Structure 1
Amino acid sequence: MSTELVRLDITDGVATVTLDSPANRNALSRQLRGELLAHLDAVLADDAVRVVVLTHTGTVFCAGMDLKESRGAAAQDQGVNEVPRILQTLLTSSKPVIARLSGPARAGGVGIVAACDIAVAAENATFAFSEVRIGVVPAVISVTVLPRLLPRAAQELYLTGETFDARRAAEIGLINAAVPAEGLDAEVARYVGMLRLGAPGALAATKQLLQAPPEGTLEERFARMLDLSAQFFAGAEGQEGMRAFAEKRPPSWVG
């Protein structure tokens, strides 16, 4: 029986999903992909989970695709075919997802970071879009990565494959914060604490709002947003939040 490569721990409403395949630098092997998706599906179906933290063991967050499995496989048999579902699951999760990196991310690993709502890295973590240097294209991950990056930075880093540090990753929008290694857990905990103050339904709807492309005329867009706002002002969470504010107490969803 194979060793589990992705671990799940749920404590006080926080689900920690840990990539635990340090022997191959947490590369996206067939087993790791399957276990990661299974844990994410379980977490999203669990009403007790409020926030998800995606982290890792070992010195590398994720090295991208498992190239040993990719060698010799036909296009339809490549493991990259399963990556869109991983990225989409993270991106559209109804629960906020925080990426915690104490080490490097490469290629598909960077795509995973970009799919998370918030990403915090130790200052010594590095990043690279290394695809062109092995003769492939950073295509699938571009769906999550390109909306994050400054256009000039994307052009440079996609084409050169150059390694860049966590401070630059923060400057170009790939991650939210680069912190000293000893302060990484405290910074992640700070974000977890802030996210737990938000109402679950409101957080899910806000995530959808952030991802939706602007469509229609200005008047039509205002009409849709007005309808959404009015529903939440009159809804159970909105009413509870306003009562809690007036009564100077935490709302019911804050444990």
Structure 2
Amino acid sequence: MKLDRGIATLTLDSPENRNALSAALVAELAEALTECGEDPAVRAVVLTHTGSTFSAGADLKAPPSPYAFVDLLRQIVELPKPVVGVVRGHVRAGGLGLLGACDVVVASEGSDFALTEVRIGVAPAVISLTLLPKLEQRAAARYYLTGERFDTAEAVRMGLVTATEDDLDAILDGLRKGSPQGLAESKRLVTTKVLETFERDAEDLVQRSASLFASAEAREGMTAFLERRDPEWRL
């Protein structure tokens, strides 16, 4: 953790696998967030990355438990300090779920995003907890169903990204001017609907995700991905 005038920066630093969400990375990030939440010197948290990819989504070789990932997403949403996601590159699948959990997201103009789950035989189930309450409905349907890449301008339009990276300094300045109590209570107001979604849907989506990943289609999709070939259903 790097601390600068009340802003703690947490960096996803596993560029060799494009910051894929492994069990280890999820556990380490959860521990770092707990430290930030307990440290009175921390006013807000920046979540960023090394390398060209913020996160490539779930690590198919060493995935976290779906419950551990749900707990991490909820921890970000419930943290009594604002969390700002900073993207300078690619974001795929579960990485978008992390951004959905953040309170504010800024991205460089050259960044790109994709919900690629459908292409390996599964669906963006668990990450819907943080994405669907925030995304424009028609855009969510398009990108959930097609797995297409979209750019920062589209990510802003649909509600995934707050602003381009040009606004980052102004956002952090604003957070530094807020009182700890004011920030915590204001965050509670804007996260109410997201937390209601966790209460209502988390268990169902975890079970749905587990069922999908155990299916024959998902096995074919993940094998094809790892072997760098088209899955058998590709037309």
When the two structures are superposed, what TM-score results if normalisation uses the length of structure 1?
0.73
Instruction: Give the structure 1 partner of residue 11 of structure 2.
Output: 18
- Provide the secondary structure at the position in 2 that maps to 1:149: coil
Structure 1 unpaired stretches of 5+: 1-7, 71-77, 179-183, 214-255
Max radius of gyration: which structure?
1
CA deviations on 1:46-72 (whole Å, 9 max, x unpaired) are 0110010000000000011001225xx
Counterpart of 1:118 in structure 2 is 104
Q: Give the CA deviation at 1:188.
A: 1.8
Query: Which residue identity is paired with 1:26?
Result: N
How far the C-alpha of 1:159 sits from its partner, in A, is 0.9
- Superposition CA RMSD, Å: 1.2
Find the partner of 1:161 among 128, 138, 147.
Answer: 147
Q: Deviations over 1:144-201 (max 9, x none)?
A: 00111111111111111111111100011110113xxxxx3x5322211011111110
* CA shift for structure 1 position 209: 1.4
Secondary structure of the residue aligned to 1:69 is: coil
Q: For 2:135, what is the secondary structure of its paired residue?
A: coil
Say whether residues 1:60 and 2:46 are aligned partners. no
Counterpart position of 1:170? 156
Q: Distance in 1 between matches of 2:160 and 2:74?
A: 17
Correspondence for 1:99 among 76, 85, 91: 85
Alignment partners' CA distance in 1, 2:120 and 2:44: 36
Name which structure has the greater RCO, CA cutoff 8 Å, separation 6+.
2
Counterpart of 2:73? Answer: 87
Paired amino acid for 1:189 = D
- CA drift at 1:141: 0.5
Amino acid at match of 1:66: D
Using structure 2 for the length normalisation, give the TM-score. 0.79
How far, CA to CA, are the matches of 1:90 and 1:18 in structure 2? Answer: 14
Match of 1:190 among 163, 170, 180: 170
Identity %: 47
Structure 2 unmatched ranges of 5 or more? 194-235
**CA apart distance, 1:127:** 0.6
Give the match's secondary structure for 1:47: coil
| Pairing of 1:132-171 with structure 2 (within 5 A) | 132-171=118-157
SS in structure 2 at match of 1:33: helix
